[in-house]
Chain A
Amino acid sequence: MSQPALNQDSLNQDLRRLVYYSRNRVGGPAAMNETIRGILAASRTNNARVGVTGALMFNAGCFAQVLEGPGEAVETTFERIQQDERHGEVSLLAFEAVETRLFTEWSMAFVGASQADAALYGDMAGESGFDLSRMTGNNLCAVLHGLALEEEAAAA
C-alpha cells in the first residue's frame, strides 16, 4: 500500500509532514480497545487512498502522531482528526515541507510503561510495522516520543 504513495513522491513537489500530540479522552480499557481498533481500520483505508503515511503513538494519557503526504491530503486528514472528540487539547508541533518521508507506511504502536496496556496492545506495533528507530532517529519525532512517555506518566 505504500509503494504508490512513494512512487509519486518524486513527482510531488508538495510533500508535507505534520506532527501533533493530544490528550487521550477515551475513558476505560474497553472503550480504548474499541477506539484503537477503529482508528486503525479507518486510517488504513483512508490514508492509503490519499497517499498519507505516518506513525501514531498512544497510551492512556495521550496520542502523538506524525502524518506525511501531499499537503492537501495531510490537511484534510488532519482536519478530520481535529474533529474527533476522542482526544482534545491538540498541540500542533510542526507542519512543514519535507524532501522525503520518514515513514513509508501508516503504523501505530502503544508507547509507554504500563505493563497491562503493553500486553493488550503490544502485538499491534509488530503487526502495523511500527519502527521505533525511525521515531527516535529524527529530532522532532524523538521529542514526540519523549512527550508521549511523559504524558502517560502524568495520566497515571
Chain B
Amino acid sequence: MPAFMSALAAPSLPVSLPFEAALAEMAAPLLLLDAGGTVLFTNARAAALLSCAEPVGLSLPVLLAQSGAAEPEGEPVLEAVRATRPARARLTLDGDRRVEAALAPLSAGGFALTFEDVTEQLRGAALARQEPLTGLCNRVGLHDRLHAALAEADRTGAPLAVLMLDLDRFKAVNDTLGHPVGDALLRKVAERLRKATRSGDVVARLGGDEFAILQAGAEQPQASEALARRLVDLVGRTYVVDGHMLNVGVSVGVAVAPVDGRGADDLLKHADLALYRAKAEGRGTYRFFEPAMNAQMQARRSLEIDLRRALALKQFDLAFQPQIQLETGAVTGFEALLRWNHPERGPVSPALFIPLAEEIGIIVGIGEWALRAACREAASWPQPASIAVNLSPVQFRGGKLVETVMNVLAQTGLDPARLELEITEGALLENTDSVLDVLNGLRALGVKISMDDFGTGYSSLSYLQKFPFDKIKIDQSFVRGMEGNAECGAIVRAIARLGASLGMRTTAEGVETPSQLDAIRAEGCTEVQGYLTGRPMPAAQAAALLSSSPVASPADAA
C-alpha cells in the first residue's frame, strides 16, 4: 500500500504497522481523512458499506455522492470538515441502507469518520410503531407523534386536534361472521380513514375497534369538525366484505390543543371523554370535549364505585306492583321492581343505575339476586299469584341464564308456572337466534315470558312472530297518550286485538287516571298495571294485599 504508506510518512500521522492492521480488521467501518477531506485510509468494512472498491484518494464529497448519499444529508459532514469540527449525520446509502456517520477531528490533524449501520434498528423501530393488521400507526407511534406535534405547537402557537374513534356495532360483526371478516372490515375502515385525512395527519389503530387521528397544521376547531363529520359519513357507509353487506358506524370524540389540554395525556383523555359522550348520545356522531365532561365522568365513576359494592352491602330491595285483571278486578300477581337505597345518596333512580349496571356488566349478579329474592318472596305468599321479574339483555349473553333460573326455582320451591320473565326488545336486537334459544330453554322450564315496553322498538311486531310470548305489556307512553290523542288509542286497540288473536294476554302499563282505565278496558286489554290500581309496595304490604283480596290464579287469567 505505497500511497497509504507515503501518506503516513507525513509527520502528522504517526501510525505504526500494528495500528494499521488493527484498523484494517476493525469491525466498525472507518475512514481516515486528511485535513482537506481526502481519504487516506479505509478499512474493509467501510469500503463494503460504501460499495466502493478503492476509496483512498477520493475526496469525501465525491465518495459520498458515489455511495448514493443525497446532497443535503451529507452537507453537515462536509461543512464540519471545512470548519474542523466534529459532526454526526444520518445518511441514506445505495440499497436503502441507513447509516449514522460520526466525524471526529484528530489532535494530530485530519479526521476519523466512522459509520454505524442503523438500517435494521430503524426498521425495527418503525415496525414497533406500526399496527400489523392495518399498517396504521399503533398506540406507541401515536404517542411519539403527538409528543413531537405538541412540542412543535408549543413553539409556533398553532393548534392541533386529537380525534378518538370507536366503531359502533363492530362486535356484532365479529361475533356473527368471525374474525377473518372482522379483520377484513377493519382493513377497509383503516383505508377509509386514510382516505378521509390529509397526508400530514397521523392515523392510528389503538386496538380492537378503536382508532385515533392526530390533525396538525390546520385551523381549529373548524378543521377537526369538518373531519369528524366526514368520518361519520364515510366510515358509516355500507361495506361489502367477502360477499357480506356490513354496516358499522363510528363515534368520534375531539379535543383541541391548547384549549382542551397542553399535554398528550390530557388531550387523549379529554378526547376519550368526548367520545364517551358521543356514544352515550346515540352513536354515529361526534362531540367536542367540554370541561363539564370531567365533572360528569367523576360523578359517574363515584356512582360506579358505589354500585359495585351495593349488592354486597345489601342496599338493594324489591318493590312489588300489583297487576289487576280488568274483568274481575282481582290481583293476578305482582311485578318485582328493583330499588337501590344508598345510605348517603338516598333512593337512586333505576333509570340512572340500571343502564350503568348493564354497561359495566354487574347487572348479571344484580339480576340474579332480584330473581332469587322475588321468587323466594312469591313462594311465601298466601295465594299462588304470579311474580314478574325483568331480565336485562346483558343477562342473555353469558350462556348461563337457563341454568340460573332453574337453580333459583329449585332453591325457592316456586311453581315455575307462577314466574313471568319480562324481556324488552333490546334483548332480541343482537344475536336474535341465540336469544330465541334461551327463551325456548326458559319456556321448557315451565316459566312464562312477557314482552315488555311493547311498541317502543323498531320491529316489535316481527318478534311476536318469532316467539310465542305469553303476554304483551303495552308501553305506558301509549296509555298516557290515549286521552287527547286518537292515534294512541288506535295503537292500544290494535295491540290488544293482536294479542287476543295470537292468544297472548295484554297488560296496559302506566294507568294513572280513571278515564285511562275506562279507555283501556274499552280497547280490550286483559290486565292493567299502574299507579291507579296499585303503586309499587314493600313485600309485606304485597303479601297483606293478597290475603285480603280475591285472587285470580295465573291459570284462570291465561
Are B243 and A92 interface neighbours, CB within 8 A? no
User: Which chain B residue lies CB-closest to A71?
Assistant: B243
Are A79 and B233 interface neighbours, CB within 8 A? no
**Alpha-carbon separation in the docked complex, A95 to B245 (Å):** 7
**Alpha-carbon separation in the docked complex, A36 to B108 (Å):** 73
Chain B residues 222 to 251 lying within 8 A of chain A, measured CB to CB, are 230, 233-234, 237-243, 245
Are B191 and A82 interface neighbours, CB within 8 A? no
**A73-101: contact bitstring with B at CB < 8 Å (1 yes, 0 no)?**
01100110011010010101001010000
**Alpha-carbon separation in the docked complex, A140 to B188 (Å):** 28
Are B238 and A82 interface neighbours, CB within 8 A? yes
Are B239 and A79 interface neighbours, CB within 8 A? yes
Contact-residue bracket for chain A: 10 to 19
Q: Does B192 make an interface contact (CB < 8 A)?
A: yes
Interface size of B in residues (CB-CB distance below 8 Å): 15
Instruction: Output the least CB separation between B189 and chain A (Å).
Output: 11
A-side contacts of B191, CB under 8 Å: 79, 83
Q: Which of B230, B238, B239, B241 interacts with A85 by CB under 8 Å?
A: B230
**Alpha-carbon separation in the docked complex, A74 to B243 (Å):** 10
Instruction: Output the least CB separation between A50 and chain B (Å).
Output: 15
Are B188 and A79 interface neighbours, CB within 8 A? yes
**Alpha-carbon separation in the docked complex, A35 to B195 (Å):** 19
Are A92 and B195 interface neighbours, CB within 8 A? no
B-side contacts of A66, CB under 8 Å: none
Q: Does A18 make an interface contact (CB < 8 A)?
A: yes
**Alpha-carbon separation in the docked complex, A95 to B239 (Å):** 11
Instruction: Output the least CB separation between A119 and chain B (Å).
Output: 33
A-side contacts of B243, CB under 8 Å: 16, 71, 95, 97
User: Which chain B residue lies CB-closest to A77?
Assistant: B240
User: Which chain A residue lies CB-closest to B194?
Assistant: A83
Instruction: Output the least CB separation between A48 and chain B (Å).
Output: 21
Are A79 and B240 interface neighbours, CB within 8 A? yes
Are A95 and B240 interface neighbours, CB within 8 A? yes
User: Which chain A residue lies CB-closest to B238?
Assistant: A92
A-side contacts of B237, CB under 8 Å: 82, 90
Most chain A CB within 10 A, of B195, B234, B240, B242, is at: B240
Instruction: Output the least CB separation between A121 and chain B (Å).
Output: 26
A-side contacts of B245, CB under 8 Å: 92, 95
Instruction: Output the least CB separation between B551 and chain A (Å).
Output: 54
A-side contacts of B230, CB under 8 Å: 85
B-side contacts of A97, CB under 8 Å: 243
Instruction: Output the least CB separation between B192 and chain A (Å).
Output: 6
Instruction: Output the least CB separation between A16 and chain B (Å).
Output: 7
Most chain A CB within 10 A, of B192, B237, B239, B243, is at: B237
A-side contacts of B233, CB under 8 Å: 85, 88
Are B192 and A18 interface neighbours, CB within 8 A? no
B-side contacts of A16, CB under 8 Å: 243
User: Which chain A residue lies CB-closest to B230?
Assistant: A85
**Alpha-carbon separation in the docked complex, A97 to B243 (Å):** 9
Q: Say whether, besides A83-B234, A95-B245, A78 and B195 are in contact (CB < 8 Å).
A: no
Instruction: Output the least CB separation between B284 and chain A (Å).
Output: 13
B-side contacts of A95, CB under 8 Å: 240, 243, 245
Q: Which of A74, A83, A88, A90 interacts with B238 by CB under 8 Å?
A: A90
User: Which chain A residue lies CB-closest to B241?
Assistant: A75
**Alpha-carbon separation in the docked complex, A84 to B192 (Å):** 10
**Alpha-carbon separation in the docked complex, A18 to B238 (Å):** 12
B-side contacts of A75, CB under 8 Å: 240-242
Instruction: Output the least CB separation between A18 and chain B (Å).
Output: 7
B-side contacts of A78, CB under 8 Å: 240
B-side contacts of A71, CB under 8 Å: 243
A-side contacts of B195, CB under 8 Å: 83
Instruction: Output the least CB separation between B66 and chain A (Å).
Output: 42
**B182-211: contact bitstring with A at CB < 8 Å (1 yes, 0 no)?**
000000100110010000000000000000
Instruction: Output the least CB separation between B235 and chain A (Å).
Output: 10
Are B192 and A83 interface neighbours, CB within 8 A? yes
**Alpha-carbon separation in the docked complex, A83 to B193 (Å):** 10
User: Which chain B residue lies CB-closest to A79?
Assistant: B188
User: Which chain B residue lies CB-closest to A22?
Assistant: B237
**Alpha-carbon separation in the docked complex, A79 to B233 (Å):** 14
**Alpha-carbon separation in the docked complex, A128 to B71 (Å):** 52
**A99-125: contact bitstring with B at CB < 8 Å (1 yes, 0 no)?**
000000000000000000000000000
**Alpha-carbon separation in the docked complex, A74 to B241 (Å):** 10
User: Which chain B residue lies CB-closest to A74?
Assistant: B240
User: Which chain A residue lies CB-closest to B233?
Assistant: A88
A-side contacts of B188, CB under 8 Å: 79
Known pairs A79-B239, A83-B195; list 19 more (Cβ under 8 Å): A18-B240, A71-B243, A74-B240, A75-B240, A75-B241, A75-B242, A78-B240, A79-B188, A82-B237, A82-B238, A82-B239, A83-B191, A83-B192, A83-B234, A85-B230, A88-B233, A90-B238, A92-B238, A95-B240
Name B residues whose Cβ lies closer than 8 Å to a Cβ of A.
188, 191-192, 195, 230, 233-234, 237-243, 245
Q: Which 7 pairs between the two chains have the least Cβ-Cβ distance?
A: A92-B238, A83-B195, A82-B237, A75-B240, A90-B237, A95-B245, A78-B240
Q: 24 A–B contact pairs at CB < 8 A?
A: A16-B243, A74-B240, A75-B240, A75-B241, A78-B240, A79-B188, A79-B240, A82-B192, A82-B238, A82-B239, A83-B191, A83-B192, A83-B195, A83-B234, A85-B230, A85-B233, A85-B234, A88-B233, A90-B238, A92-B238, A92-B240, A95-B243, A95-B245, A97-B243
